[in-house]
Amino acid sequence: MTQLFYDNTLEGLFTAIFEIFEFKYADPEIVRMDFVQNAFFAERVEIITNLEKSNRVFTKLEKQLGKDGIRQLLYAYLSEFEGIENLIFRVVRYAVQNPNHNIVKDFSNPDVLQVSKLVKSVGREKHRMEAFIRFELLKDGLYFAKIDPDFNVLTLIVRHFKNRYQDQRWMIYDFKRGYGVYYNLEGTEMVTLDEDVLQKFQNDNSLLHDAEIKYQKLWAEYFDHTNIKERKNIKLHIQHVPKRYWKYLTEKKIF
């Protein structure tokens, strides 16, 4: 076995896949750098991300699988499914073995089928994040949103919010993965927050603008007063808005 460990980026993964074909590694296993474990009978190879090699894999796959095929591999990668690197490698290898066939819809192959299932799950989470994320106005004029999605979809939802809120500064922060996206009216950038700042965002309403606190109370009261209790159907409500998303909704907060 040859164990190749990479830097946890898609470019690093594509570099690893390129080198598997380049050096003809036998029985390869691709592992994220922070998941590397000692294997007595495995040769360990550190993969240094190489954009030229990564782009060659990307170009090859785009030519054979099309943009939709690339999108599916990206979505599958963002699922963070255990062993996703090796699943993607097997799909790429299957594509290379069938150069005259677009294997994206070949569900007779179990790996292609698994990727398809992951794509649906990630796509569903993306759309729900776009629907359920709520921003809170902070004292410094920044609109801030906390998320911790099941899948790593933050980069997939940036365009939606950038198009929708072009005239205000905002930040969406993934607390589960420890990074966020900040929009400064001109463009977006990836950011990370210190632990003490994160604690304040998690537990302290003192960061909220006074107008935001009043708005949240008024909205919760309005929602409560307009809700017809006799027609309440919790089962149907949960089908449309699963409980794990309630933490994002202002009307679900208790003051």
List of residues 6+ apart from 19 with CB closer than 8 A: 4, 25, 45, 47, 53
Q: Is the pLDDT of residue 6 over 70?
A: yes
pTM given for the model: 0.86
The pLDDT of 136-147, averaged and rounded, is 93
Task: Classify each residue of 14-48 as buried b or exposed e, where b means 16 or more C-beta atoms within 10 Å of its C-beta.
Answer: bbbbbbbbeeebeebbbbbeeeeeeeeebeebebe
Beta bridge partners of residue 219, listed in sequence order? none
Q: Is the pLDDT of residue 14 over 70?
A: yes
Helix ranges, the chain (H) = 10-23, 51-78, 84-97, 110-132, 154-164, 195-203, 210-226, 234-240
The pLDDT of 198-224, averaged and rounded, is 78
Of 9-13, 28-32, 106-110, 228-232, the range with the lowest mean pLDDT is 228-232
Query: What is the CA angle 208-212-217, rounded to 5?
Result: 115
- How far apart are alpha carbons 16 and 36 in whole angstroms? 14
Q: Is the pLDDT of residue 40 over 60?
A: no
* 148 or 248: which leads in pLDDT: 148
Pick the most confident of 102-106, 199-203, 228-232. 102-106
